[in-house]
Structures are given as structure tokens and as C-alpha cells.
Amino acid sequence: MASWISPDGSYHLGDEQPGDIAVPERPDATHVWVSGAWQPDPVAVKAAHNAPILAQITALDVFVPRGLEDTWTALGFDTTKLPAIQQTRLTQKIALRAQLQV
């Protein structure tokens, strides 16, 4: 299938539109057409790198409700583990944030 760059700079596959320039197929979504060649787009590369890390951080931010310790104890949960769970999550989040590209 043919690859094209439109006059507005957008990339598309398929049929040629007026003003389109034929280009080789784009390596991946993090590349942009610059001076006749595909080049990595630093912003897109960072976003692609950071997205799964941010998802992991968000998953660690799951709310642990307070004030339910009596209920948890009645259900057999050892509430003395709560501080350790929170510290583990904090340590994991710090390590993940260190991996983010800014």
C-alpha cells in the first residue's frame, strides 16, 4: 500500500490526494517526515516510553480507604500490614518515576 505525506504534513496510507508526496512507509508512530527522511520525534518517543510507566504509577495509586480497620480486622485482614503496604507502594512509585523521561 502506498504511503503519503499530505500538504499539511500528516501521514496516510492508501490513495494519493492532491498535493501528496510519496514516501516510504513510516517505521512507527513515533517518527516524523523531516528533510526527506523519517526521523524519531522526541516528543512522541518520550510519550511512548512514559505511557506504560504512568499507567503503573496510576495502578499503585489505588485508594486504600482508612477508617475501615475494624471491618478489615473482622474479615481477617491483618491491619498491621497497612503501613508496610503503603511504604512498598511509595518505594515502587519512586522507582517508576525515576524511569520517566522528562
**Where are the alpha helices (H) located in the chain, listed in sequence order?**
42-60, 69-74, 82-99
Per-residue pLDDT of the chain (102 residues; tens, 9 = 90+): 899 999 998 999 999 999 999 999 999 999 999 989 999 999 999 999 999 999 999 998 876 666 777 787 888 888 788 788 888 889 999 999 999 998
Q: Where are the domains of the chain?
A: 3-31, 42-99
β-pair partners for 13: 3
d(C-alpha 4, C-alpha 10), whole Å = 8
Task: State the burial class of residue 93 (Cβ atoms within 10 Å of its Cβ: 0-12, 13-18, 19+).
Answer: middle
- Total-model pTM: 0.65
